[in-house]
Amino acid sequence: MKKQQKRAGATRVLAKISRETLLWIGGAIFVLPFLWMVLGSFKTTAEITRIPITLLPEEWLINNFVEVIILLDVPRLFFNSCLIAVTATLGSLITSAMAGYAFAKLRFRGSNSAFYAIFITMIIPYFLTLIPSYLIVYRLGLINNYLAVILPGLANSFGVFMMRQFILGIPNDLLDAARIDGCSEFRIFWMIVLPLCWPALATLSIFSFMWNWQDFLWPLLVLPNKDMMTLEVGINYLQTVRSGVINYQYAMAGATIAIVPVLIVFLIMQNQIIKGVTVTGMKGGA
């Protein structure tokens, strides 16, 4: 009996060590490209493309970031990206939470069919929607307008699905008690449901902010004016800014600057994000 217990204990320890080793290896694989980008932003193009590869810079060139700020109007591009990402994220949170509450707790004719129709749109490739979306924006006269990027981001099928799955876990008895007390549906949504949905809202906010901040193709199409382009679009022009030569160090420095806001938002809200993903993934039902 003791031998079996010792063997089982050794097996658990071995499994734990193996699991943690795999996690460390997987984490290193994901972190390495990011680390390469950050360290490359302090190198010259010659050092970046040199074989054999060197990880640490021979000389730390802070001047790369200064050049990026000079070549691009970084404060203006940063403002454009912040305005679009923050506005689209807030709008997406509001519409997704309201739609998720309606599909999860309100019963009306065609509710399931409407939800499944929204859910199916998640499998439509992004590129298939570019031409019809562009035609709509063009006919509305929104080219070179921030609304051309903000408005399409307000309808988020993933956000609706995620909020619905989370709100399904809120007890109906709690909402029925509020209705008996005379609360309207909007007051129930605002005073009861939203505070309970904070983990899901935090998770959706970082996803939405990241998608809008890092979006490249759509802002490139609808915001051709240089004064209105986003930071991600501006970084693309850093690669060939001098004599047609690809300047990798400027592109990496610009990408490092662009990734900082996403990292800050994630670090601030990481606990709520993990909780939101875990709890939302356990919800089910139709």
Average pLDDT, the chain: 83
Per 3-state DSSP, what percentage of the chain is helix, strand, and coil (rounded to 5)?
75, 0, 25
* Segment 186-202 mean pLDDT: 88
User: Is residue 272 within 8 Å of 67, Cβ to Cβ?
Assistant: no
| Ramachandran category for residue 57: left, alpha or beta (phi over 0 → left; psi -120 to 50 → alpha) | beta
- Is the pLDDT at 239 greater than 80? The verdict is no
- Is the pLDDT at 283 greater than 60? The verdict is no
The model's confidence at residue 279, banded by pLDDT at 50, 70 and 90, is low
- pLDDT at residue 107 in the model: 82
187 to 51, 66, 199, 201: CA distances (angstroms): 64, 51, 20, 18
- pLDDT at residue 240 in the model: 59
- Is the pLDDT at 12 greater than 50? The verdict is yes
- Is the pLDDT at 174 greater than 70? The verdict is yes
Q: Is 242 helix (H, G, I), strand (E, B) or coil?
A: strand
- pLDDT at residue 286 in the model: 43
CA dist 260 and 68 (Å) reads 15
CA dist 64 and 50 (Å) reads 18
pLDDT digits (tens, 9 = 90+) for 41-51: 888 878 888 88
User: Is residue 122 within 8 Å of 61, Cβ to Cβ?
Assistant: no
- pLDDT at residue 134 in the model: 92
The model's confidence at residue 14, banded by pLDDT at 50, 70 and 90, is confident
CA dist 186 and 38 (Å) reads 47
In sequence order, the β-bridge partners of residue 252 are none
Calculate ∠ Cα 188-177-180, nearest 5°.
90
- Is the pLDDT at 266 greater than 60? The verdict is yes
- pLDDT at residue 251 in the model: 83
* Segment 132-148 mean pLDDT: 91
The share of the chain scoring above pLDDT 70, in percent, equals 89
Q: Structure pTM? A: 0.79
208 to 89, 149, 175: CA distances (angstroms): 5, 13, 28
Residue 131 structure tokens? 């031409």
User: Is residue 84 within 8 Å of 212, Cβ to Cβ?
Assistant: yes
Of 60, 54, 22, the C-alpha closest to 41 is 60
Q: Which single residue is written with the structure tokens 């996403």?
A: 262
- pLDDT at residue 119 in the model: 84
- Is the pLDDT at 242 greater than 60? The verdict is no
- pLDDT at residue 273 in the model: 66
- Is the pLDDT at 285 greater than 50? The verdict is no
pLDDT digits (tens, 9 = 90+) for 78-97: 899 999 999 999 999 999 99
